[in-house]
Amino acid sequence: MDSLVRSCEAFETYPQNLVNQTTSGYILKAYFARLKDQSDRMFHVESHASVDFLELHDGDEEFTTSCIEHTNRLKEQLREAFKPTRSDPRCRFMFMHSRTSHDPLRISYHMFTLGLTYHQVMPSFLDFVFPFGRQEHQQDSHFSGFRHDNSLNPLDRGLSVRELGRSGREIRLCYNLHSVEKSSVQAYLPWSIRQTAVYHSFDVETGRSLWINVKGNRLLKRRIEEAAKSSQLGSFKSIGRSFAATLITHMFFCEWAGENWRWYINDLEKELQDATGKTISTPADRRLSSVSEADRRMSSMSDVARQVLLLSEAADRQLAPLSEADRRLSSVSELTPLPMIPRTRQSLSMNHQETSSRPPSRPPSSSSQAKSTASEGSSVSKLQFSPFQGLHLEMPSSTIPSKLGNLLMKPSELQSSGKPQAIELDPGLPIEDSISQQESFSFSDLQRLQFIEERTHEALLVLKQNMTVLKELRQHYHAAGSTPDLPREIRSDCRMDFAKFENRVLAVERDLGMQQLRIEALMTLLADRKNLVSGFLYGILQYRTLQVSEAFTARAQISAQNLQAMATTMQAIVEKSKQESASMKIGSLATLLYMPGISIAVRTFMNKGITRLTTDSSGKPKRVFQLRGLKLYLAMGLPAMAATFGTWYIVHWVSA
């Protein structure tokens, strides 16, 4: 008794304060440091504490419940056993829970260490409590195991406190299990994998048992309370019946670990079908037929791009200086625009059968195109995308916009129309509209599949862990039932209970094994479907890239044709400039012709005139011609004019 009291006085140092422990001191020190370090995450403050007790005392027929909310109240609850004629209850359940699975336990650090110290709980139980508490991301949630520390041999007793009904010969074990429960956090997969930690001790001489259960909610507490009220736990009047009640209690935890897996896997399978069902039902030829021709069509697109570049270079030459434009316009005017117009949403149609039955067509020549344009008139014009086989445009010529009609005209025809045509990009035909609006997959499908895959792997891991824990629990009691250290009363009275317990645990194991097979089959199907969806996404991405390239190529052709129209406009401007230049040359020649002579004449004899009017002796007017002045003018003017024309010719020749 004194050693227990001293241990309880130092309850804050749990598990270093335990009595008669076989665990190494450095391990106890590590447990203490880890528990102290994570106490803020694992436990609530005392004002939010709420620990439930379910107890059956000596002489009572029914269990009593209580809720402890602070350390002092817990001390009072535990001190009841120290009163005269009182001892530990014949059966005690201590339930620790939290508001949600991601919240701290509703027990303070002091209450937790005091309760475990008073009951001398084995330190390894902390391994199953550490995963609980507040966590930003799940950590250690899939840890699972089974621990036991029996002291059945009378020569190897544990702590013996006769006043409390503790003989020191007891079965002590702890384990944790996982199961799936309904959850409202995820709408499309309303399940969450939850865990529970169990500690149990049974005194084989006095028949007193202790249960400590840690869980994120009160589900198991309610089930055990209902079983206690309905006498499902059996009678505690003898040691054998008390031991049988412990086997029944274990089954509540074992059956909880095996339930709901069938429905959880059903929902996983449904999610997989919803995410990949269209992958199976979609005809591959409808979606990926164009993808299979990607290489051929891309090579054809390169030819179109080459023609567009040639056309752009020709248009650039039109924008050269006027002196070179006169010399190069003749070669540009011979270029013929590509027999290709941009696709529209109403006019573009896919026709794979026609393209597969005829060879690729060639762009018509200038002469043949002119003939076809002249012969068609108002009939239906059939224009073919020669680089992109399978794309055809059928539209009445009367409905072709004027801009598209201009695209089909040669530069000579544009020039002969008398009005320069400026071609603009149609804002009503965005590139996105030229891509067919097909039902497609998205990368969110892969994310969804990844989520299902993670949940499937998690379920498989938990199933295997549960089966391992259940197997160890079953084997532990099978070994305990056959050991001679177990009192004869228990072995004889509980022989049928041992067999029943073993069969029920085996049934849960078999059911979990069947669910494991389903999970493994689902994982295989999931991997195949994921590869299929990845292939579809890759193919669709490649196909959409091809479509975007086609649309941009069409836009590039329109831009090149705009440059051609600009070049034609520049040609008309050049023609006008040539006429104006000729007029300017004539004016310059006239100026050069007359300016030197006029200038000399004005400065020499023109101030006196070539002829002079005089009067003769009779007083009549007389005109006198001054030949000498004219000779002087010609002698000075003609060389000046020749020098002026020579200088102009030399300057013009050098500039040319």
Residue where a domain stops, chosen among 233, 259, 285: 259
pLDDT at 382: 38
* Contact status, residue 246 vs residue 203, Cβ threshold 8 Å: no
Residue where a domain stops, chosen among 259, 287, 316: 259
pLDDT at 283: 63
pLDDT digits (tens, 9 = 90+) for 422-435: 444 444 444 444 44
* Chain center to CA of 39: 36
pLDDT at 400: 38
pLDDT at 606: 55
Specify the 3-state DSSP secondary structure of 215: strand
Cβ-count burial 503-542 (b if 16+ within 10 Å, e if not) = ebbeebbebbeebbebbeebbeebeebbeebeebbebbee
Q: Is residue 363 part of a domain?
A: no
DSSP classification of residue 428: T
Beta-carbon-side half-sphere exposure of residue 177 (alpha carbons within 13 Å): 28
Neighbouring-strand partners of residue 383: 393
Q: Is residue 357 part of a domain?
A: no
Residue 183, domain extent: 2-259
Question: Does residue 207 come out as left (phi exceeding 0), alpha (psi in the -120 to 50 range) or beta?
Answer: left
Phi, psi of 145 (to 5 degrees): 180, 180
Residue where a domain stops, chosen among 225, 259, 293: 259
pLDDT digits (tens, 9 = 90+) for 291-342: 445 455 555 555 555 554 555 555 555 444 444 444 443 443 443 343 333 4
Phi, psi of 51 (to 5 degrees): -115, 125
> Which helix H or strand E contains 369, and what residues bound it?
helix 366-376
Q: Is residue 436 part of a domain?
A: no
375: number of Cβ within 10 Å:
8
Mean pLDDT over the full length of the chain: 77
Q: What is the Cα–Cα distance from 166 to 210, expressed in whole angstroms?
A: 11
pLDDT digits (tens, 9 = 90+) for 536-591: 667 667 777 888 888 889 889 899 999 989 999 998 898 888 888 877 877 777 77
* Contact status, residue 66 vs residue 77, Cβ threshold 8 Å: yes
Q: What is the Cα–Cα distance from 150 to 172, expressed in whole angstroms?
A: 5
pLDDT at 440: 52
Burial of 148 (0-12, 13-18, 19+ CB in 10 A): middle
For residue 36, give Cα distances in angstroms to 42, 126, 411, 516.
10, 12, 89, 38
Work out the pLDDT band at 67, boundaries 50, 70, 90. Answer: very high
User: Which of 164-168, 255-259, 262-266, 466-470 is the least confident region?
Assistant: 164-168
Q: Is residue 197 part of a domain?
A: yes
365: number of Cβ within 10 Å:
11
Q: Is residue 281 part of a domain?
A: no
Q: What is the Cα–Cα distance from 166 to 158, expressed in whole angstroms?
A: 9
Q: Is residue 114 part of a domain?
A: yes
**pLDDT beyond 90 at 109:** yes
Q: Enter the tokens of residue 429.
A: 């035909």
| Overall domain count for the chain | 2
Amino acid at 86: R
Q: Enter the tokens of residue 235.
A: 């009678």
**pLDDT beyond 90 at 150:** yes
Burial of 171 (0-12, 13-18, 19+ CB in 10 A): buried
**pLDDT beyond 50 at 417:** no
Q: Enter the tokens of residue 421.
A: 């045509």
> Which helix H or strand E contains 516, and what residues bound it?
helix 495-603
Neighbouring-strand partners of residue 612: 624
* Contact status, residue 95 vs residue 106, Cβ threshold 8 Å: no
Mean pLDDT, to the nearest integer, of 131-145? 84
Amino acid at 573: I
Residue 359: cis peptide before it, omega within 30 degrees of 0:
no
Of the chain, the end-to-end C-alpha distance in Å amounts to 124
pLDDT at 375: 43
pLDDT at 287: 45
Q: Is residue 295 part of a domain?
A: no
pLDDT digits (tens, 9 = 90+) for 213-253: 999 999 999 999 999 988 888 788 899 999 999 999 999 99
Q: Is residue 625 part of a domain?
A: yes
pLDDT digits (tens, 9 = 90+) for 436-490: 434 455 667 778 888 999 999 999 999 999 999 999 999 999 999 999 999 999 9
* Contact status, residue 61 vs residue 227, Cβ threshold 8 Å: no
CATH at residue 252: 3.30.460.20
